């Protein structure tokens, strides 16, 4: 049995965004990619929310920190788990409220384990 999850992926690095979506699609997840946090926030469906959000922190425009603040303030979106993907090695100066933080370059096994831990999702065939 496979657990299929709807995962929103937000990263301004187009190559990484595509690679993560390709890998997750290959293992059976539905991905919804966004290269900007503002676009992602505006597009999140409160009636059919994703099981998980993978979020970059350092992006032009709305940062990952700003995205999380806005997400947490919106009913229907605040309970969606978030796994942060970041190249920042020092989050102690500006901590992020997330279910888990993964450091870039991403380790595929750690990414898939984080999705299993936090992603919820429906079991299919």
Tens-place pLDDT, residues 69-83:
999 999 889 999 999
Please give the average per-residue pLDDT across 47-57, as a whole number. 94
24, with CB counted inside 10 A (0-12, 13-18, 19+), is buried
CA 72 – CA 108 distance, rounded (Å):
27
Pair of tokens at residue 29? 């997840």
pLDDT at 125 > cutoff 50: no
Q: What is the pTM of this model?
A: 0.92
User: What is the 8-class DSSP label of residue 85?
Assistant: E
Q: Are 104 and 85 in contact (CB under 8 A)?
A: yes
Domain range 2-120, CATH architecture: 3-Layer(aba) Sandwich (3.40)
Percent of the chain with pLDDT over 90: 78
| pLDDT at res. 89 | 80
Q: What tokens does 3 get?
A: 């657990």
* pLDDT (0 to 100) of residue 124: 45
The neighbour count for residue 93, using CB atoms within 10 Å, is 6
Q: Mean per-residue pLDDT for 90-107?
A: 87
- Contacts for 102 with CB less than 8 Å, ≥ 6 apart: 83, 84, 85, 86, 110, 111, 114
């Amino acid at each position: 049995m496979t657990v299929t999850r709807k995962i929103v992926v937000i990263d301004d690095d187009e190559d990484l965004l595509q690679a993560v979506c390709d890998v997750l699609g290959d293992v059976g997840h539905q991905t919804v990619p966004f290269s900007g946090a503002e676009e992602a926030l505006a597009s999140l469906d409160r009636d059919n929310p994703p099981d998980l959000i993978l979020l970059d922190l350092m992006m032009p425009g709305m940062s990952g920190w700003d995205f999380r603040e806005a997400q947490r303030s919106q009913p229907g979106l605040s309970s969606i788990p978030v796994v942060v993907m970041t190249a920042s090695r020092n989050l102690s100066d500006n901590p992020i409220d997330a279910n888990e933080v993964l450091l870039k370059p991403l380790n595929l096994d750690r990414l898939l384990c984080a999705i299993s831990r936090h992603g919820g999702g429906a079991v299919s065939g």
